[in-house]
Structure 1
C-alpha cells in the first residue's frame, strides 16, 4: 500500500519511526512533512496529505501531532477521508473493523513510541468487517459526507493545493 505520512513538530520523531515500520511491512510511504522538530503549522502538512488520501493518490494516511485531534479535524474536512484518533491497539482494531477508516491520527505527546508502533501495526493489518450491518453504517456516514462535503473534483484548482 501507499501511505501518506504527515506531522507537525510534535509528531516528527514518531513519524520517522512509523515510516521505518511501514517499510518493514512492505509499504511505500510519502512524507508530507513536517521536516524537523522545528515549530510547524499542522495544516501545512496534514492538509496536502489528506488531499492525497481523498483523491485516491495513496491508499491510507497516518498523521501525528501532539494529541491527534488536530490532524483528525483537518483530515475529516476532506471528501473521501475517514480519519480516526487511536490511543491503543484495541481502538485501532475497532476503527478498521467498524468504520473502514483510511486515516489514522496519533498523539505524539499522549502515547509512547512502542504503543504507537503497535497501534500502527494493528490498524494496518485489520480488515473492515464488511458485513451488512457495518456496511450499512459506513454508508450512512458516507452519505452525510456526500451531502455536506464538496467533492474534490468540484473544487476549483486554485483553491486546492
Structure 2
C-alpha cells in the first residue's frame, strides 16, 4: 500500500519511527515532511500529503503533529478524505471499522511512541465493516452525500 506521511516539528521523530515500521511491513511511504524538529507550519506538509490522497496517488495517510487535530482539520477540507484522530488502539480500530477513515492523525505531544505504534498497527490492520454490515455502509454513504453537496471537486 502507498501511504502519504506528513508532520510538523513536534511529530518528526514519531513519523520516522512509524515510517520505518510501515516499510518493514512492505508498504511504500511517501514522506511530505517535515524532516527535522525546526518550527514549521503544519499546512505546508499536511496539505500536499492530503492532496496526494485526494488525487488517488496514495491509498492512505498517516499524519503526526503535536495533538493530531490540526492535521485532521486540514486534511478533511479535501474531497474524499476521511481523517480521524486516534490516541489509542480502540479508537483507531473504530475509525477504520466503522468510519472507513483513510487518514490517521496522531498527537505526538499526547501519546508516546510505544502507544503511537500500537495505534498505527490497529488502524493499518483493521478492515472496514461496511463491506459486510449495511449500517456502516449506510452511515458512511450519508457523510459522502453531505460532502458531495458542499465540497468542490479538485
In structure 2, C-alpha distance between the alignment counterparts of 1:24 and 1:119, rounded to whole Å: 17
In structure 1, C-alpha distance between the alignment counterparts of 2:20 and 2:107, rounded to whole Å: 18
Structure 2 gaps, min length 5: none
| 1:50 counterpart = 2:30 | no
Q: Which consecutive segments of 4 or more residues in structure 1 shift more than 6 A?
A: none
**Shift of residue 66, structure 1, vs aligned partner:** 0.2
User: Which SS does the other structure have where 1:41 is aligned?
Assistant: coil
In structure 1, C-alpha distance between the alignment counterparts of 2:98 and 2:48, rounded to whole Å: 26
Compute the RMSD of aligned alpha carbons.
0.5
Cα distance per residue 1:41-67 (max 9 Å; x no partner): 000000000001111110000000000
Q: How many residues align?
A: 152
Query: What is aligned with 1:141?
Result: 143
After superposition, residues 1-161 of structure 1 pair within 5 angstroms as: 1-130=1-130, 131-152=133-154
In structure 2, C-alpha distance between the alignment counterparts of 1:101 and 1:132, rounded to whole Å: 17
In structure 1, C-alpha distance between the alignment counterparts of 2:92 and 2:31, rounded to whole Å: 22
Q: What TM-score, normalized by structure 1, do the two folds share?
A: 0.93
Cα distance per residue 1:96-117 (max 9 Å; x no partner): 0000000000000000000001
In structure 1, C-alpha distance between the alignment counterparts of 2:107 and 2:120, rounded to whole Å: 12
